Amino acid sequence: MKRNSRIIGAVLVFAAICTVAVVAVSCTRDRSLARLREAGVVRVGYAVEAPYAFVGANCQVTGEFPEAAKYLAARLGIRRVEWVQTDFDALIPDLESGRFDLIAAGMFITPQRAKRIAFSEPLLRVRQGLLVRRGNPRQLHAYRDVLTRPGIRIAVLAGSFEETLLRQMKVPERQIVSVPDALTGRLAVESGVADGLALSQPTLRWMVDRAASGRTALAEPFEQPTPAQMKGSSYCAFGFRKEDHQLLDAWNKALHPFVDSPEHLALLSRFGFGRLALPGTITTSEVLVR
């Protein structure tokens, strides 16, 4: 019995050594940052959702995440950013396929997404919100209102955290209206196709403040989902391919002194975020175990 135990122990140690060796070789071969520095350009994927990412004046991509990405890329010695627009639910597949090198789109850190991509450390923390028709005729003040009112329909971005959250809350499929972007969601509310649009509060406030029609408003007061429902998923970060360790590590090293810096605070103010949107000292690893 002791001999068998020694053999099993030796096999386990050998397997561990092999695993470490494979990881070491993989990291050695990883030239994700070096490749971008040599090319002088990084391709950044985004989906239109102001104020996180959108196309502004003179057709220039801007927003909290694109502007932060420009700043961080420059700090890493990458001279130019090439923008690639896609639908929100295509961001992860397009990153995996190599269409771009990282995601800058205000994407929430979630365990489901972390199975496919690697997240940077958090850049923002945001609250949830609900866009409704002006005057809130259906008197919606929480996502859970949908559960007790079968006639209510809520729009969500396809592939968004809000879509996942409503399904986890057991909201029937017939009450969920999937849309490709925030603008389509707003139009769905204005036209009556949906009674509300579930999305992060900064996005909804940005739309309401800039909508010429004045047909929509934020549901106020609004009851935030419970911590158990959120599972820590109120933090936004950049997304990377899992194998691009070199790029992710360097990005995080540049990101750490940027968060809460004068440059970062200026961006927060520019795009309508306050100091409450700062992520604090929490790490991505801590978010994922909540």
Q: What is the mean pLDDT of residues 271-288?
A: 94
Q: 260-282 in b/e burial notation, b at 16+ Cβ within 10 A?
A: eeeebeebbeebebeeebbbeee
Q: What is the mean pLDDT of residues 135-148?
A: 96
Give the length of the chain: 290
Its pTM stands at 0.83
Is the pLDDT score of 20 beyond 90? no
Report H helices in the chain: 2-29, 32-39, 64-75, 91-96, 111-114, 161-168, 182-191, 201-210, 227-230, 245-258, 262-270, 284-288
**pLDDT per position as a tens digit, 220-275:** 999 999 988 887 679 999 999 999 999 999 999 999 999 999 999 999 999 999 89
In the beta sheet, which residues pair with residue 236?
Answer: 108, 124
> Tokens representing 185?
């969601």
Q: 191-210 in b/e burial notation, b at 16+ Cβ within 10 A?
A: eeebbbbbbbbbbbbbbbee
Is the pLDDT score of 18 beyond 70? no
Could you give the angle at which helices 201-210 and 182-191 cross, rounded to 10 degrees?
A: 60
> Tokens representing 138?
């259906």
Other beta carbons within 10 angstroms of residue 179's beta carbon come to: 24
Using CA atoms, how far residue 11 sits from 5, 23, 63, 146, in Å, is 10, 18, 52, 55
At 50, which amino acid appears?
A
Q: pLDDT band at residue 43, thresholds of 50, 70 and 90?
A: very high
Cα separation of 181 and 165, whole Å?
A: 17
Q: Which residue has the tokens 């239109």?
A: 48
Q: pLDDT band at residue 81, thresholds of 50, 70 and 90?
A: very high
All structural domains of the chain, each given as residue ranges with its CATH number in brackets, are 32-125+234-288 (3.40.190.10), 128-230 (3.40.190.10)
Is the pLDDT score of 5 beyond 50? no
Share of the chain above pLDDT 90, in %: 82
